[in-house]
Structure 1
Amino acid sequence: MNIAFSPCPNDTFVFHAWAHGLIQDAPELDVTYADIDITNNWAAKSKGPEVMKISYAALPWVLSEYKLLPCGGALGRGCGPLVLTNSLEGDKASPASLAGKRIAVPSERSTAYLLFRLWAAEHIPGGAGEIVVMPFHEIMPAVRDGSIDAGLVIHEARFTYPSYGLSMLVDLGSWWESNTGLPIPLGAIIAKRSMDTDAITDWIRSSVRYAWAHPEESKNYIMMHAQELSPDVAQAHIDLYVNEFTADLGDDGYAAITALLGRAAEEGLVPAFDLSLLR
């Protein structure tokens, strides 16, 4: 079975057992490690692998071909995207100062960018200027070096941005949680509707449970793909993004996804779609 997910520690932790043939009756995986911007575009063109990790924000474009699976993804609290600037600690930028500025984002169809657009509509008079799509690991250096005015970052950047001399302007996850009371939907696992999605769900859940039961077994695999992260940062990444919602979205998870995409559709930020397709 073909699958694509990122080389980030949470994804390699979740899929380690299945990728290494440790899940009974699960088919062998042919893994492609790909940035979320790549998988978002693959899914939209229906040209991607049978199973993929994409942004929740990209779901409205793909639900006719792919089904959202209720496990394996990234959704939680205290784990949202950050807007960073290179302002000094004593001279932080204000949201209004982003008007007309160049802002780097990890994907035009990322949940991070969707949250940013919802937030910016309320906080940036006249809106941001040029939006530049960059691989997420290039964003902080670009902000530090001044080629970009601000950067929207995800993943381990929550832990590493101070080392680049950057300041956090806003935590979009905290904004979303205070605004809605719901967790933050970040990355979704989808499978082609022509597949046995119930079986795929069972294999992913088994892989998650194996990872939790045998955390030491996946460490070499995780660090091999961890893009020069330290073991401590990789573990912090896993602790933040692999949680109860990874095993099962549950009612709160589906409520968060419906709230995000329903609001985005109402504001014309994503195509209108049948919300019942989310389940």
Structure 2
Amino acid sequence: MNIAYSPCPNDTFVFHALVHGLIPNTPSFDVTYADIDKTNYWAANNEGPDIMKISFAALPWVLDDYRLVPCGGALGRGCGPLVLTAENTASPSDIAGKTVAVPSDRSTAYILFRLWTAQQVPGDIGSIRIMPFDEIMPAVQKGEVDAGLVIHEARFTYQTYGLHMLQDLGEWWEKDTGLPIPLGAIIVKRSSNVNVSELANWIRQSVQYAWDHPDVSREYVLQHAQEMSPDVADSHIDLYVNGFTKDLGRDGYGAIESLLGRAAKAGLVPHFDEGALK
């Protein structure tokens, strides 16, 4: 089987046992390491491996060709994207009419940001500038943009750039809805021969193995962690690998339906059949 996921610690931690033959009675896996922007693009064009991790924000565009796997992804609480500024800005209104850098316009982070600005920023922001994730904090620091939307390990490192958090969008979302944030989804091509129930069972075993034997995957995780320190990698795993990774459950599906339903009403994603999520 072929699978694509990111080199981020949460993904390598989750899939280590499965792709290294540590789960009994599973096939061999050919792994492609790809950032989520690339897998989003592949899925939108029905290309790439049969099994991929994409952003939940990209799901409405691809449900005709892919099925959602009910585990293996990333949802959670306290793990939302951040809006950062160089100044210790006190109010969301301070970025009204301003330029904000974002890593993608087809991501959960972007959807949350646009829903938040519609509710909290009078007159909305001025413009969006898409740039590589690792360039956003330096751009904010240098004043090239007025604010930046950041994700993942930037939660743990933004203060080293002298930046300030204007809003934790996860905190806003959780207060507004009481639900976790849907970040990354595992999908399977409908045209493939992959049995989704069987795959889900293998992934759940892989997650449990990772929790039971965290040291076994450590070398693999750090090998792909892009010079991330072990402590930051551990924090990354602790934040993004949780009960929702093992099973979406009622709250997980509720969060997905709420986020994408709101986004569809706001014109941020296409309208979709919620029944296609299961």
Aligned twin of 1:85: 85
C-alpha separation between the residues in 2 aligned to 1:146 and 1:227? Answer: 26
Matches within 5 A, 1:246-265: 246-265=245-264
Residue by residue over 1:155-176, the C-alpha shift from the partner in whole angstroms, topping out at 9 and shown as x without a partner, is 1111111111110000000000
Instruction: Give, in angstroms, the shift of residue 27 of structure 1.
Output: 1.9
Instruction: Find out whether 1:173 has 2:155 as its counterpart.
Output: no
Residue by residue over 1:152-208, the C-alpha shift from the partner in whole angstroms, topping out at 9 and shown as x without a partner, is 111111111111111000000000000011111111111112331112111111111
Instruction: Find out whether 1:22 has 2:22 as its counterpart.
Output: yes
Aligned twin of 2:139: 142
Aligned twin of 1:115: 112
Instruction: Find out whether 1:186 has 2:183 as its counterpart.
Output: yes
Runs of at least 5 residues in structure 2 that lack an aligned partner in the other structure: none
Which deviates more from structure 2 when the two are superposed, residues 213-222 or residues 128-137? 128-137
Using structure 1 for the length normalisation, give the TM-score.
Answer: 0.95
C-alpha separation between the residues in 2 aligned to 1:41 and 1:18? Answer: 25
2:102 to 97, 100, 105: 105
Aligned twin of 1:159: 156
Give the partner amino acid of 1:273: F
Q: Is the 8 A contact 1:185 1:257 kept in 2?
A: yes
Give the partner amino acid of 1:174: E
Instruction: Give, in angstroms, the shift of residue 5 of structure 1.
Output: 1.0
C-alpha separation between the residues in 1 aligned to 2:165 and 2:36? Answer: 23
Using structure 2 for the length normalisation, give the TM-score.
Answer: 0.96
Aligned twin of 1:208: 207
Matches within 5 A, 1:221-236: 221-236=220-235
C-alpha separation between the residues in 2 aligned to 1:21 and 1:28? Answer: 7
Give the partner amino acid of 1:166: L
Which deviates more from structure 2 when the two are superposed, residues 91-100 or residues 119-128? 91-100
Aligned twin of 1:6: 6
Partner secondary structure for residue 227 of structure 2: coil
Which deviates more from structure 2 when the two are superposed, residues 13-22 or residues 170-179? 13-22
C-alpha separation between the residues in 2 aligned to 1:48 and 1:127? Answer: 37
The change in CA–CA distance for 1:9 and 1:59 in structure 2 (over 3 A counts) is same
C-alpha separation between the residues in 1 aligned to 2:26 and 2:106? Answer: 31
Which deviates more from structure 2 when the two are superposed, residues 39-48 or residues 123-132? 123-132
Instruction: Give, in angstroms, the shift of residue 93 of structure 1.
Output: 5.1
Residue by residue over 1:32-62, the C-alpha shift from the partner in whole angstroms, topping out at 9 and shown as x without a partner, is 2112111111111111211111111111000
Partner secondary structure for residue 52 of structure 2: strand
Q: Is the 8 A contact 1:140 1:161 kept in 2?
A: yes
Partner secondary structure for residue 49 of structure 2: coil
C-alpha separation between the residues in 2 aligned to 1:146 and 1:42? Answer: 34
- The percentage of counterpart residues that share the same residue type is 68
What's the Cα RMSD here?
A: 1.2
Partner secondary structure for residue 222 of structure 2: helix
Partner secondary structure for residue 145 of structure 2: coil
Give the length in aligned residue pairs: 276
Instruction: Find out whether 1:37 has 2:37 as its counterpart.
Output: yes
Give the partner amino acid of 2:58: A
Runs of at least 5 residues in structure 1 that lack an aligned partner in the other structure: none
Instruction: Give, in angstroms, the shift of residue 22 of structure 1.
Output: 1.3
Instruction: Give, in angstroms, the shift of residue 276 of structure 1.
Output: 0.7
